[in-house]
Amino acid sequence: MDIGIDIGSSYIKAFLIDAEQGRIADRQTERMPERAAGLPDDAYELDPGLIAARVRELIRKFVRQTGGGIEGLFLSVQMHGFVYSEAGRADRYVSWQDTRCLRPVPGGGTTYLEFLKQKISREDMLENGVYLKPSMGLCNLFALLREEVPRMADGTLYTLGSYLIHSLTGRNIAHAESLAPVGILNVKKQCLAAELLETCGLSRLSFPEVAQEDFQVCGIYQEEGCRIRVYPDYGDMQTAVLGSSVREGEVVINTATAAQVIRPSAEFLPGPYEIRPYFGNRYLYTISDMPSGRNLQVLIHFIQEAAEQVTGKSLSEPEVWETIHALAGEEPEGLRVDMNFYRNSLFPGGGAITGISRQNLRLGTLFAAAYQNMAETYWDYIRILAGSAEQVTGIVCAGGVNWKTPELVDRIRRVSGKPCRLSAMKDEAAAGLLSLAVACRKKAG
């Protein structure tokens, strides 16, 4: 038996994997720790020690359940963020939801992000496959150190996954899939981007080793006498794409708390997209910052607040969604919703509701217009990934939002004119971790 653990934004999900039978034998779930209290709105930090403790507890449960019959541990971990550790203060995980790099540089007349862009051009980062943006770990690390460590920083940087591996094995080692979104990896050469780190004044930090193989054994974790092989920290997006069973010519729309449009490729061919490492020395052409579940939550929270202020009664999110799903047949009737409520490099202007007439501002039309905008945005950027609509044979709709919202999948089908299907399993992370465990067994003979 093996264990697969998926570290998401809201939950830590653990799967007991029977690779020989090709099945998920059991699963356990823990909530992620709460965001640290007392932070500014643009800071999003968690205690990585609490995350590691919950991971160890999940491992312990399966070790006891199987009588010590666990052989391997596979990790699928949220990306972009980082853990920073230095002597004399608690370790901190700065999440992908952190945007402190948008703060103004004291006396500089610009933000930390714009300051970095003046020093590092897009061309400088071509081989990194990713580019400077608010959610990138490199940008927020630069802002953190400039504000809090005026001297030359000499702490240790981890991906969240390499921090967990270090807590289990004592070794700070990370998969390229997890390192690339932080912005510190030369994806084409599969090594740390030393020149970039020097430019940012980060060369004195200690960084993770780069795992050389998908199934490299990073160390052994011992739990109640059970010796468990620990494999690298795979990116949660890559694991989900693997679990979606995407076929040649298809693209993936992965819509969860965050969302991306994704196209697998065997070539490292830079373009107006990011290039993420993928299993088997392949790549994922990716455009992030798409409208997602958290964008829909803005509308849901507005409805909840309005209902409570008018009636004095609280509505749960499932109650609101039940009503919205019942209105699935509605059309926008000229109403338009720009769903980009979270400003980013693609959509700096924020969201809007326009085209309002005397009769069309209703709950059903509001969400029909929201789905229409999301589908149109996805399709616009899919054509950028593929080069043309003719290169796309079909669309795989992955992620919890697509599974829970058939109205959105239907809009994607109608807007694109392409065959659309849901991913192979509702939980793509589970399917991907299962595939990895099976492939690892086959590789081992």
Q: What residues contact residue 123 under an 8 Å CB cut-off, 6+ apart?
A: none
Q: What residues contact residue 388 under an 8 Å CB cut-off, 6+ apart?
A: none
pLDDT band, very low/low/confident/very high, at 152 (cuts 50, 70, 90): low
User: In the predicted model, is pLDDT for residue 444 greater than 80?
Assistant: no
- Cα 183 to Cα 45: distance, rounded to the nearest angstrom: 19
Task: Specify the pairing of strand 250-255 against strand 2-7.
Answer: unpaired
pLDDT-above-70 percentage for the chain? 99
Evaluate whether 153 touches 145 at the Cβ level (below 8 Å): yes
Q: What is the DSSP string of 242-305?
A: HHHT--TTEEEEEESSSEEEEEEESS---BSBEEEEEGGGEEEEEE-----HHHHHHHHHHHHH
- Cα 25 to Cα 219: distance, rounded to the nearest angstrom: 25
Query: pLDDT digit string (tens) for 223-261?
Result: 999 999 999 999 999 999 999 999 999 999 999 888 999
Burial class (CB in 10 A: 0-12, 13-18, 19+), 290: buried
- Cα 377 to Cα 273: distance, rounded to the nearest angstrom: 15
- Cα 199 to Cα 118: distance, rounded to the nearest angstrom: 11
Query: pLDDT digit string (tens) for 16-38?
Result: 999 999 999 999 999 999 999 99
- Quick one: pLDDT at residue 151? 57
Tell me the mean pLDDT in the region 179-200: 94
The SS3 assignment for 70 reads coil
Alpha-carbon dihedral sign for residues 390, 394, 399, 401: positive
Q: What is the DSSP string of 390-430?
A: GG--EEEEESHHHHH-HHHHHHHHHHH-S-EEE-SSS-HHH
Burial class (CB in 10 A: 0-12, 13-18, 19+), 270: middle
- Cα 332 to Cα 237: distance, rounded to the nearest angstrom: 32
pLDDT band, very low/low/confident/very high, at 87 (cuts 50, 70, 90): confident
Which H or E element spans position 75? strand 72-77
Domain with CATH 3.30.420.40 in the chain: 2-235+428-443, 246-423
User: In the predicted model, is pLDDT for residue 345 greater than 80?
Assistant: no
- Cα 248 to Cα 262: distance, rounded to the nearest angstrom: 12
CATH number for the region 2-235+428-443 comes to: 3.30.420.40
Q: For domain 246-423, give its CATH number from 3.30.420.40, 3.30.2010.10, 1.10.1740.10, 3.30.300.30.
A: 3.30.420.40
Which H or E element spans position 52? helix 48-65
User: In the predicted model, is pLDDT for residue 154 greater than 90?
Assistant: no
Tell the residue number behind the tokens 């290169």, with chain if given.
391
Which H or E element spans position 232? strand 226-235
- Cα 349 to Cα 432: distance, rounded to the nearest angstrom: 36
Q: State which amino acid sits at residue 229.
A: R
List the Cα angle 342/343/349 in 5-degree steps.
Answer: 120
